Each structure stands twice: as C-alpha cells, then as structure tokens.
Chains A and B, each alone.
Chain A
Amino acid sequence: MCRIGAIKSKKPVYPSMALRLMLPQQEGHDNSGFAMVMQDLAGVFSLYKDKPLLSMACTKQGARLVEDYMAAQNFIKMAEWLPVPNKQKGLDIQAMPYYIFRNYDYPEHIEDKERRETLLLDTRLELRKILTESKQGYIYSFWPDVLTLKEIGDPRDIATYFRLWDDTGVLLSKNIIVQCRQNTNYKIVRYAAHPFFLQGYTLCANGENTFYTKNKEFQKNLHRGYIGFESDSQNFLYTLHYVLHELKWSIPYYKHVITPLPFAEIAERPDRDILLSIRQSLAHLEINGPNTIIAGLPDGRMMTCCDSKKLRPVVVGGDDTTIAISSEVCGINEILPDRNMEKDIYPNEREVVVINNDLEVIRWKQ
C-alpha cells in the first residue's frame, strides 16, 4: 500500500517537511521513489505566480526539443530554477541528466481563462509527446504556481540530491501533496508515480482500483487530457477533473460518482433522482476497490475521502497554521507533534473532508 500525504499551511513550508511526514510511514516497497506537487509557491517562483511553470526531467537533447517547441509557440521564458544536484556517491537515485523548472509568459495576451487552460494542457500534451517519442524525458506539469518533482530511488537520497534537506528558501509552498513510492505493481515508470496533475487538479490515491479497465475505457473518450493510464490511480484524477472541471458539479458529487450509495440507500434520499441519474450515467467511473484519495483543487483547497468499505486508512490533523493529511498518523506526529490529537479526524467510508484556504476543515457524509 502506498502511503500518501499532504500538507496545507498558512505559511509556506519546505519540501523537507513533506519528507518528514512520509518517512516514518515507510513499510516494504514504500520509499522506492519520491513525488510531490507543490502549489501556491513561495521562494524563487513567488514573483511569477500567474505565469505557467514547466516541471520536467530530461536529457540535454530533450531540453533542446522543449526549448525549440516553446520558442516556436512564442512562449517567453521568465524565471528558471535548475537544481544543482549534490552528486555524492552512494545515493540511491536514478537521476535524469536535467531537471528544469521554468516559468513562461503566455505567447499572447489571453484573457479568457478557458482558453488559457486549453493552451496549457495542449502544450503539455504536445511536449509529452515530443519527449516520449524521442525518449528524451518527462514532463509532469505546466501550470501557474504548480511545481512537480518526481524521481525513482530512496526519498532521503533524492532529497539529498536535490538539496531539499537544506531548506534554502528556493522551494517553498503553502500546499504540498506527496508520495514516496514507485508503482511497484507494474513497470517502473516515472509517469506512474502519483501525485498526478491535470489543469490545476492534483491527486494521490493509494490502493487498488479494481474498476481500472472500466474507468480507463470510459475515460479515454471523455477528454483528450485523459491519457497515460500508467497507474490505476490516474483514474481518480481524471474523474475528479471530469466531475468538477468538465461537468462543473460540486465536490459532494465526486464522492457520489466514485463510491455511489447502495440503491437501497439512494431510494431513501430526497435527492434520489439526481443520485440515481449520476449512478446510471457515470457507472463506469465508479471505483470499487480499496483506496484513499488526497486531492488538491485549482483554488488551493484540499480534500480527502476513502473507498466505500473503508479498506484504506487516512487521518487529518493539524493546528491553526498547518494541517496535514496522511495515510498514517505517525507521519503527522512527526511534523506536528504539539497539535491537539483529540481533534484528529479519521474519515469514515462515506465522509468527505475538505480543507479550505483559511484552514477550516469542512466535513460531511455523502
């Protein structure tokens, strides 16, 4: 089981805090990789929060291919952070030659939010295609105020490599979603490591999506951005994106889509017509296996929920400044030892927990 975690804070925090959240949870294959998505950035990117930020790992040739493409599309380079790795011997990391985190300005003045979103997605998909076909690298996100770092290896060593333990003030953010394991079920592929990202939505999901085939077959036709499917957890992100971004429904309905209420319970509800229609029309997006989801929304809110049989754990705990979501409480104990543990929330199988930007915790039953 992957351990997953997230930190939401009023003050920007370092990635090392995310690592300290995750490392105590290690078991078995955990800690075979490191992946995090940072949102609401401080540090080097704080001046360009409205400009799309490209996160990629590639070869020299890959970097050139991307630069050429971006130049051809009239994207203008703004800020850039190229980590200078600590290449000390004995580190367990399968490093790529280059890691590029770069802000661009839009090629033209596009006011329309939807058009911007479309452009950013299309650009990322095209870059991914270029890098995949040439086998020269990986692109993880291209979105304003969002940074993604993924690598294979021991997360401690990966952190050493990127100097994340140093807390140098380069990388900070108010929201971090993190996971420390490669997808050991299948081929080890960088794209298969969650968190996954799509148009502002970030998602980690541990567990087994037993309706993977159903989900995948359905999602393939729903949106051009629903690609890859290297991990059965990507389905959770695509469904989140579909429900909130495409259908423009609210969060409660995401839960109704992935873990619909039993028919007998629906029949008792005043909104049964709606719930039944959702269950009917989105039957192929149901998730029927064990899992926990931690998601970050474009507006900075975070949410978590579980499968309908509560076969995977999750706990939410924190104080006035910082709240963490974690598979296991030991991680939160490490980073927030002084919080009031009695206020920790262990969501049940029908519960959704949302943390808003004022760190208010809103919870409800499906």
Chain B
Amino acid sequence: METVKTQDIAVNDLMWKIDYNAERCTMCGSCVASCTFKAIKVEVQRKSITLSQANKPEPVHQQCAIPVIKQVASIENACRGCGMCERVCPNNAIRAVRNPDNRRNLLSRDNGPIKRGGRTNLNAQRTLDKIIVGRISQMTDPSLDSQRHTFDIRSPLGRILSPKELPMQIENGKLVMTKKTPPVRWIYPLIFSDMSIGALSTRAWEAVAMATAYLNERCGLPVRMSSGEGGMPVKLMESDYLKYFIIQIASGHFGWNRIIKAMPRMKTDPAGVLIKIGQGAKPGDGGLLQAEKVAPHVQAIRGVPKATLSSPPNHQGLYSIEESVQKMHLSLNAAFGFRVPVAIKCAASSTSVSVYNNLLRDPYKICGGFFIDGIQGGTGAANEISLDHTGHPVVSKIRDCYNAAVEQGAQGQIPLYGGGGIGMTGNAAADAFKMICLGANGVFCGKILIQLLGCVGNEQGRCNACNTGKCPTGICTQNPRLVKRLDIDKGAQKIVDYVLAFDSELRKLMAPIGNSSLPVGRSDALVSTDKAIADKLGIQYVC
C-alpha cells in the first residue's frame, strides 16, 4: 500500500475542483491559456484503453500516453472558480465545481492572514429583500404613471442649512440672499463609488468614467463618480468633465500631489471632495494595494515606488471629530474656495450615530454629506478576517442616523448616503428606493459597476482575487495582457444601460406610492415580512 502523505495539498482540499471531461477535450489549450491563476496545466497521462476502430468489433487493448488538463494542487494556484476555462472551451469539456469539503481555511495561512478581494462571504444576508414597498396608492389617492408623469429624481450633496439659518430677508415682498450659503449640488441619487486607479485597471476606471460622462452629457442624469484614493489623470482634472467627479482623499493621500498641482489649471470645480475615513468592507483597516498591482502608471499617478501600498488605518494627525471637522473639512473646503461640498465616508459602525450627531452639531456647518459604508461593500484587497468578521450592516445604520437627525429636527441637513451591498442581487433600484424611504438621500455602489464590466466574483467565494493582479476579467489588474480582455466601450455601455434601467425602475417604485420627488424618510411606504426588522426600522410588520 502506498504511503499517503496527508499534509500535502491535494485537489480535494481546494475550494473549487475542475470537472474535466477528457473525451470531449480537443486539446486546443484555450483553457490553460485563459487561466490567470495557473490553476490548470497540461499533463501527459498514462492510460490503459481498449479501442475498436473497425466496422466490426476488433477490440485492441493498448497503453498510451495522452495529454490531459489537470488541476494544480497548490494553494497559491488554487482554482478560484472564475469559470474562464468553461467560457473559452469550445467543447464544454471543462468547468469549475464548488468543493464543499475543502480545507482552504485551514491550509491557507502559511504566509500570514488570508488576503482577498470581493465582499464578505459570511454576512451576505439581505435585509432589504425582507422589506417591501407596501404602501400603494389605491383609492384614497391615485398612483402616478411612471411613464407619463415627470419625476424629480435628485439628491443633495452639500451642507444644508436649517430654514431659520438661511441668510434671507424680504425686500419688496421678495426674498433675497444676504450671505453666501454652503455649496450644494443636486445630483442623481446613485453615486459611483470610490474605486481607485490601481485597484481597478486604468481601462476599467476609464470605462466607469466614460459611463459617467455619457450619463451626464447624453442622458441628462447627473450621476457622479468618486475617484477613489488613487488620484486622477491630469488630463481629466484639467477638463470640463471634472465637474462629474468627486475627488477622494483617504489616509494615504495617494494622488494628491498631482491633484494639488492640477488645481490652478482646473477649468471647473469637481462635484465634491470625499474624505474617506473608513470602508465598510474592512473597517478600521486602511486601503491595500498589493505590489503586484503597482504598475509604472500607478507609481506615476500616485508618486510612489513599486511596493505594497498600505493606507494607514486612520488619518495621521486626526485624533478627534473636532480635528476632523476643523482641519480636514476646513482645509479641503478652503482649498476649493468654499465652492465644493466636502463629504465624509465612514464604515458603518455602532458609533455611526455619534459621528453623525457630531457632524450635525459642528458649528462651522461644513460637512456636506455623510456616507455610510456597510459590511457588504466590496474591496480590491483586504485581510479576509476583516472582510468576514468586522463591519456593520448599513440598512439599520442609515435608519438610526436619520432618526437621530429627526429627533433633533435636523433631518436633511447633512445628506445621508448609504452603500455596501447596494445592488448585491443585481436589483440596485429596489435597494436604493428602500434605503431612501428609510432616510438615505441616495446610495453609492461600486461592486455592481465592475460586475457590469464583467467581474464574475460573488459572495459565495467565487473568484475574489482582486488583490492578486491576476483578475481574469481585466478589471482589477494592471497586467496589460489581461486588461486587453476588457472591452471598455462595451463595459461603459453596460453601465449606462443599467443606470437607465435603474432610473426607470426607480420611477416604477415612486409611481405606486404617488410621489414625484424622492420619498426621503418616507418609512410609511415600507413594510416588512420580518418582525425583528420591522421593529428595528420602525416600519409596519406584515404577514
């Protein structure tokens, strides 16, 4: 009996197993060429076969060596289930199959914590699917016609003053403004979330940017895109299109050297500045760009050498909310002459309400938006332990923050934006609508955008290799050969089409509740089939 080496990695230890049918395989090699993880290889296998090749049975037994496709038994080259092999196989001879008995969690920590991209695979529960738009206009008031009526689908980004703080006075029966008020942009309630050049390939980032510009210029939808912490192309910063972008600053300040240098040459103001304090996918952990992805152009745009780029978990120099407000908000407001709203993004947390209260009460009134990012948000790279075991769902947090504002009569003064799992099932409009009814002014989403570009990752452990530089779809990699897999025109078109459908779907949800403007905080429009959710959110329980 052969000795069994139990410590060796075997294919059945891995998360995905290759289901290969040698009889269908034509040996074209496409699957091996397409596998960016080198999870499959060509091997020659000795085989004992009996063949009959004549018109009548004349079986001949022979030993032969034939080439086959074989899975590599290694953690490093483990199949990620991306399915590229199946996609390219002309003969349906190969596919990846999930292996429920895998031992990946036990075997993958030889070189430290497990790192990956994607979103939490543990806490992917869907609160929003247990909420229904249940207050339908029937006889007491008419529903609207989603195609005939006009809808005013806009959300504010910027600090809004309470009515009594408005610097207005009546002159000859007409109100006139006596002082400047903080800048507020009315934008589309769907913001393309911050995914940096670096996390994304330049081409993928460009595809999202193209979609943004198209939606604005051709479709009349003022969708805004956050740059992510990785700077922006100088050409873009010096163009008119800058107005569609929210420039992000995070703890690494990556890209800000170029942004500051470009400022004197900016023709127009950006849509906003977003200070990233934390990210829902990996709260309390800074951004992470593995050296594999720090290609020359990323080095140039960020002004860094080729090395793993870790953004610190906090903004060095900010130790309290007061400093955040005074130093960061004030300086960024001042940098753009108080013409550009400055918002802040935090990971959802048990402390979100405290943060929001402090921002609401800040005497300078300069926080132009509170972005709360839930645990179900995606990321380019993080320790898996952060992804799966830290964070906070966003739905109840948005509600809590809204309710905290209501209690103080300050609802709407700092617009609330929720993200992290919006559109997880592909139905972003329904998610957005429910979030808005619960008190959000709008939503931001990122993962769904790259999924529209072709990302095949999901929260059941599929792919999630954004950190490796081996993204099989050319989206989260800087490898020029892989990036070529992405057709950016087609990708941009997919995003545009999706947002147009999103807009129609939003109307389809606004019409039945009889509203032509966004029902921010209209929790009475929602019901839940889950008693605990209904109680927590303060909406009707129905069954």
Which residues does A use to contact B, with CB under 8 Å? 185, 207-208, 210-214, 217-218, 220-222, 242, 246-250, 252-253, 260, 262-263, 271, 273-274, 276-278, 280-284, 286, 288-290, 308-309, 311
Contacts and interface: CB of A to CB of B under 8 A. Distances in A.
B411 A217 contact: yes
Contact of B161 (A208, A222, A262, A281): A281
A210 B514 contact: yes
Given A213-B524, A250-B170, A276 B144 contact: no
A308 B516 contact: yes
Nearest to A261: B152
Contact of A214 (B149, B162, B184, B520): B520
Given A247-B164, A248-B170, A277-B166, 8 more contacts: A210-B515, A217-B521, A250-B170, A262-B150, A274-B177, A277-B181, A280-B156, A284-B521
Contact of B174 (A242, A271, A286): A271
A282 B163 contact: yes
B166 A208 contact: no
B409 A221 contact: yes
Interface in B172-186: 173-177, 181, 184, 186
B154 A217 contact: no
A218 B521 CA distance: 10
B406 A281 contact: no
B516 A288 contact: yes
A242 B164 CA distance: 10
B181 to A, nearest CB: 6
A208 B152 contact: no
B63 interface: no
A281 B514 contact: no
Contacts of A271: 174-175
Contacts of A218: 406, 409, 411
* Top-4 shortest CB links A-B: A221-B409, A208-B141, A213-B524, A280-B160
Interface string B129-150: 0000000010011101000011
A248 B181 CA distance: 20
B376 interface: no
Contacts of B150: 262
B193 interface: no
A284 B175 contact: no
B168 interface: yes
A208 B143 CA distance: 11
B201 to A, nearest CB: 35
Interface of B: 137, 140-142, 144, 149-150, 152, 154, 156, 160-166, 168, 170, 173-177, 181, 184, 186, 406-409, 411-412, 513-517, 519-524
Contacts of A311: 141-142
A208 B514 contact: yes
A220 B160 CA distance: 19
Nearest to A311: B142
Chain B contact residues, majority secondary structure: loop
B166 to A, nearest CB: 6
A253 B520 CA distance: 22
10 contacts: A185-B140, A208-B141, A213-B523, A217-B521, A247-B164, A249-B168, A250-B175, A252-B173, A262-B152, A274-B168
A262 B164 CA distance: 23
B267 to A, nearest CB: 21
Contact of B166 (A214, A260, A281): A281
B476 to A, nearest CB: 36
Nearest to B141: A208
Contacts of B513: 210
A106 to B, nearest CB: 29
A136 to B, nearest CB: 32
Contact of A290 (B142, B162, B412): B142
A260 B516 CA distance: 11
Given A222-B409, A276-B184, A263 B522 contact: no
Nearest to A291: B141
Contacts of A283: 156, 160, 412, 520
A263 B163 contact: no
Contacts of B156: 280, 283
Contacts of A309: 144, 149, 516
A286 B514 CA distance: 13
A281 B162 contact: yes
Contacts of A249: 168, 170, 175
B140 to A, nearest CB: 5
A282 B520 CA distance: 13
Contacts of B177: 273-274, 277
Contacts of A213: 521-524
A146 to B, nearest CB: 26
B160 A281 contact: yes
Contacts of B149: 309
Contacts of A281: 160-163, 165-166, 412
Given A213-B522, A218-B411, A277-B168, A263 B142 contact: no
B416 to A, nearest CB: 13
Contacts of B520: 214, 283-284
A85 B348 CA distance: 64
Given A222-B409, A249-B175, A211 B142 contact: no
Contacts of A185: 140
Contacts of A214: 519-522
B63 to A, nearest CB: 78
Contacts of A246: 164
Contacts of A260: 517
Name the residue among A210, A246, A252 with the largest chain B CB count within 10 angstroms. A210
A289 B514 contact: yes
Contacts of B166: 277-278, 281
A208 B525 CA distance: 14
A218 B517 CA distance: 17
Contact of B176 (A262, A274, A286): A274
Nearest to B408: A221
A217 B165 CA distance: 19
Contacts of B181: 277
A211 B522 contact: yes
Contact of B517 (A220, A252, A286): A286
A235 B516 CA distance: 19
Contact of A211 (B186, B412, B519): B519
A291 B93 CA distance: 65
B514 A288 contact: yes
A73 B165 CA distance: 35
Nearest to B176: A274
Contacts of A220: 409
Contact of A280 (B184, B514, B523): B184
A274 B175 contact: yes
B433 to A, nearest CB: 15
Nearest to A211: B522
Given A263-B152, A277-B168, A247 B163 contact: yes
Contacts of A252: 173
A138 B150 CA distance: 43
B154 A263 contact: yes
A212 B514 contact: no
B486 to A, nearest CB: 35
